Chains A and B, each alone.
Chain A
């Protein structure tokens, strides 16, 4: 499939503010095999979320973009990812992601999108930004990353 370059610059805001919960952070830390005390200490007032937790907000933006551009998730491959943090996300933060399509390219019959997501608190504090490149495979090129060249 090809994606109209006119979508560059479109922005998508989280459907609702995300309330960072203690048990969610614990669940996430355990799922990555890293339940260190910074993330899960029961007596800490505001445990830290792991460095890649911001991706939970990034995903909201991906889903909004996939809905908007009619992209099937199973055709999406994650190419690269970058996080730039002003400070860690903490339990108790109420945050939103604002995703923007930064670029669209067509290459090898596939679409490559760069998506930037700014993560801000309900007090409008900029917590972090995430940058993702994703690749969308065409419908007809099922073996696009196979042996064809």
Chain B
């Protein structure tokens, strides 16, 4: 890692330019594994200590099969598809998702696997690009209507 550099794209692939893009362009996929330990860590870092993200007992009490991942953790990981591609996190001007289905995280060492993808859905004025994102777990969509708007150079 080029941790000493503050240049967002230093050493990485060239940042995408609005003029070079076409609708339908696919962003590199991202595969993420989420374990209970990741949920504990995210709870502490974000301040979201909702019991349904760490107690099976409470999760079942409110009608869930077991502990579920924080939707905001899934959303943060989806953002990575966009920022890894664009090179500059500051390019994101708008980002929205709907949590279509909870990501169930079993109490084992394997956890849940979520596969993220993205494609350029629209090229707009002022160098703005709309990217539509997908996230699936066990073949089912866990995010719907996920989209980010980015201002590129």
Contacts and interface: CB of A to CB of B under 8 A. Distances in A.
Interface of A: 24, 27-28, 30-34, 36-44, 48, 50-52, 55-56, 59, 73-85, 87-88, 131, 137, 141-146
Interface in B1-58: 1-6, 8, 10, 32, 38, 41-42, 44-52, 58
Contact of B32 (A33, A48, A50, A75): A33
A78 to B, nearest CB: 4
A17 to B, nearest CB: 16
Nearest to A40: B3
A55 B46 contact: yes
DSSP majority for the B interface? Answer: mixed
Interface in B121-147: 145
Contacts of A34: 76-77, 80, 83
A83 B89 CA distance: 13
B107 interface: no
A52 B45 contact: no
Given A28-B46, A50-B89, A81 B51 contact: no
Nearest to A57: B47
Nearest to A45: B6
Given A37-B1, A59-B46, 19 more contacts: A31-B42, A32-B77, A40-B3, A43-B4, A43-B6, A44-B6, A50-B83, A51-B95, A52-B79, A55-B48, A73-B49, A74-B62, A79-B99, A80-B97, A83-B96, A88-B92, A137-B62, A142-B61, A142-B62
Interface of B: 1-6, 8, 10, 32, 38, 41-42, 44-52, 58, 61-64, 70-73, 75-77, 79-80, 83-84, 88-90, 92-99, 102, 145
Contacts of A24: 45
A39 B84 CA distance: 13
DSSP majority for the A interface? Answer: mixed
Nearest to A63: B47
A55 B96 CA distance: 12
Contacts of B71: 78, 81
Given A51-B83, A142-B63, A38 B88 contact: yes
Contacts of A73: 49-51
B64 A145 contact: yes
11 contacts: A31-B46, A36-B83, A37-B1, A37-B10, A42-B4, A50-B83, A51-B89, A81-B71, A84-B93, A87-B90, A145-B63
